[in-house]
Amino acid sequence: MYHKTQCEGFQCEQAMLEVPGEAESIRQGVLERLVSWMRHRSLFVLAYGTGCGAIEMRPLMTSRFDAERFGIVGAATPRQADVLIVSGYLALKTLRRVIRSYEQMQEPKYVIALGSCTINGGMYWDSYNTIKQVDRYIPVDIFVNGCMPRPEALIEGFVALQGRIKNGEKGGYHHYREHIDWYKANQRKVLGDQIPPTYTCDWYHAGGVV
Amino acid sequence: MHAVVDSLAMIGVSYVMGFLFYGFYRQFNARVQRRWGPTIWQNLFDNMKFFFKSETLIHGPMFFFGPMIIMAGAFTTVLFVPFLKDSDWLQGFSQYGNLILIIYLLVVGPLGNALAVGSSGNPFGVMGVTRGLTRLMGLEVPFFLGLAMVMLQHETASVHAIMAAQDSLAHWGIVTNPIAFCVILLPFIGSQHGAPFDVVGAPVEVYAGPRVEFGGRLLGVLMTQRMMMSIAKLVLLVDLFLGGATNILVLIAKAFSLFLLTTVISMVFPRLKTEQAVDFFWKVPLGLGVLGVILTVWLPSWSA
């Protein structure tokens, strides 16, 4: 992704990192473009708060940051949500709940992982019962790094996600459908017998995708 | 042919008014809280998004038919409320119905809701329905008493005749029968799921209550139904108390002013508990209603 061909220096590096990659996008007709335009204006958020991440997520709905101006509002249940925010480290116990919640969400659905703990374990890098990389277990669309990231950074992540939805790029849920066996194997590796029952995910196989 | 076009026009008008009014509500609410808030089209975006989501839940046939029953209730209510007076258009089938039929149709929604949620088996949904039916006990009695007072005052159950009787500002229902208007207004806010009486769908207490199991398309259907039903009730109150409307712009203006009144009331009051709401309905609006009935029946010269 990063080649020193066009320019040099830190700012240039940052600019090139922010260029969207060659993400696979779906060919869209007029109706699909209209729908994805409406979809990007309306994101219902299921906020899974673990530890310090929850503190940075709540102000998003307040008068100071006001995420509702982007059409982002909180959802009451996973069934009504479009975006799952995993806000911080996941212990093995909470990972089960997150997987269950994610599989209950209706498609199209997206995941935002918040904080360094979701990327490489963060300050829990040597903990015995937290997982280090969330995207080995559920597909993450946007990572927002920091420890903890400010609400502005989270809004930035939301805007980036909205841009991807608007352009009709394939969301992480496509990846989850296509690689369900890999994800399930990873989940089984850490959860063992405690893995969520198959009826939460067997409908992924119903369409003959896998 | 005229009836078909007219019905479709009524459904379209009530849908468009619904999402614009609720979009305004969300923006106004945001401004009161010193936020920018979403655009006025936000409810259209939300609704369309839900219609184009997948729906993978299976809870038996009743879970699917429940929202359809609610939706059918909303459509028929819209079609039996005359939107305009002295006009061929936006009448629907209102000449075949009257206020008593509309009262029956208003109950179809909660019935379908209870059926669908009951078959889903979610405890939060059942809690929401229990709260809803308890609240319904409180709000239906004063609401129907208020409507009965209007029927008594005009000695007819026909919405057309009641509209025709209010030919000038001095004869508007809100002027000739202000007690009935006050009696109806508070249960009306409750039936719109407005803020002091919104304990049914409280998002963090019972996780959206009756809607807890619905996501995707069925939730879109429920959202549409709610917006259309609100407009049908608003238009009904405009017909009964604000003298009806002769054209669509007057209708929107009158319905909007009524909506603004209920919005402002629900914006400044916090949520009541279920039993507090029922207590309130059975004390204030019902007491006022009984007083109004006494005045209307035994002192007809006063109210006329």
Looking at per-residue confidence, does B244 or B256 come out higher?
Answer: B256
CA B107 – CA B141 distance, rounded (Å): 13
B200: distance to nearest CA of chain A, Å? 13
Q: What are phi and psi of B281, to 5 degrees?
A: -65, -35
Query: What pLDDT score was predicted for residue B107?
Result: 83
The segment with the largest mean pLDDT, out of B44-48, B53-57, B244-248, B269-273, is B44-48
Query: What pLDDT score was predicted for residue A209?
Result: 43
Interface list for B 195-254 with A (CB within 8 A): 203-204, 207-208, 211-216, 219
CA B3 – CA B5 distance, rounded (Å): 6
Residue B8 is part of which domain span?
2-303
Answer whether B87's CB lies under 8 Å from B130's CB.
no
CB within 8 Å of A174: residues ≥ 6 apart: none
Statement: residue B133 has pLDDT above 90: no
Angle between helices B248-268 and B178-191 (to 10 degrees): 70
Mutate to test the interface with A, among B46, B49, B193 (most CBs of A within 10 A): B49
Nearest to B158 by CA among B200, B213, B96, B115: B96
Yes or no, beta carbons of B45 and A71 under 8 Å apart:
yes
- Chain B environment of A81 (Cβ under 8 Å): 215
Mutate to test the interface with A, among B22, B32, B36, B52 (most CBs of A within 10 A): B52
A47 beta partners: A85
The secondary structure of residue A74, as a DSSP letter, is E
A86 beta partners: A48, A113
How many CB atoms within 10 Å of residue A140?
Answer: 20
Q: Give the pLDDT band (50/70/90) at residue B301.
A: low
> Considering CB atoms only, which of A39, A66, A69 is closest to B49?
A39
Query: What pLDDT score was predicted for residue B42?
Result: 93
Q: What are phi and psi of A83, to 5 degrees?
A: -120, 130
* Residue B216 φ/ψ region, left for φ over 0, alpha for ψ in the -120 to 50 degree band, beta for the rest: left
Query: What pLDDT score was predicted for residue A50?
Result: 79
Residue A93 touches partner B, C-beta closer than 8 Å? no
Domain residue limits, chain A:
28-204
Coil vs helix vs strand at A134: helix
A142 beta partners: A112
CA B158 – CA B82 distance, rounded (Å): 10
CA B155 – CA B151 distance, rounded (Å): 5
pLDDT in tens, A10-59: 666 666 666 655 555 566 788 888 888 999 999 999 988 877 888 888 88
CA B151 – CA A99 distance, rounded (Å): 57
Statement: residue B134 has pLDDT above 60: yes
Instruction: Flag whether the ipTM exceeds 0.95.
Output: no
Query: What pLDDT score was predicted for residue B91?
Result: 84
Nearest to B138 by CA among B284, B31, B279: B279
DSSP secondary structure, B6-64, as one string: HHHHHHHHHHHHHHHHHHHHHHHHHHHTT-----TTHHHHHHHHHHTS-------HHHH
CA distances to A73, A82, A167, B33, B264 from A68, rounded to whole Å, are 6, 14, 21, 12, 20
Statement: residue B232 has pLDDT above 70: yes
Q: Which two tokens stand for residue B7?
A: 């019905």
Answer whether B303's CB lies under 8 Å from B295's CB.
yes
What is the helix, strand, coil percentage profile of chain A, to 5?
50, 15, 35
The mean predicted confidence, pLDDT, of chain B is 87
Query: What pLDDT score was predicted for residue B38?
Result: 92
Residue A77 touches partner B, C-beta closer than 8 Å? yes
pLDDT in tens, A136-168: 999 999 999 888 888 999 999 999 999 999 988
Average confidence (pLDDT) over B229-250: 91
pLDDT in tens, A46-103: 988 877 888 888 888 888 999 999 999 888 888 889 999 998 888 988 999 999 889 8
Statement: residue B41 has pLDDT above 90: yes
Cis bond leading into A148, ω under 30°? yes
Q: Which CATH class is domain A28-204?
A: alpha beta
> Considering CB atoms only, which of A39, A69, A106 is closest to B215?
A106
- Chain B environment of A107 (Cβ under 8 Å): 53-54, 56
Q: Give the pLDDT band (50/70/90) at residue B64.
A: confident
Query: What pLDDT score was predicted for residue A58?
Result: 85
> Considering CB atoms only, which of B30, B37, B212 is closest to A76?
B212
CA distances to A47, A86, A114, B199 from A55, rounded to whole Å, are 11, 13, 12, 27
Query: What pLDDT score was predicted for residue B216?
Result: 82
Looking at per-residue confidence, does A208 or B299 come out higher?
Answer: B299
Q: What is the largest CA-CA distance in chain A?
A: 52
Statement: residue A208 has pLDDT above 50: no
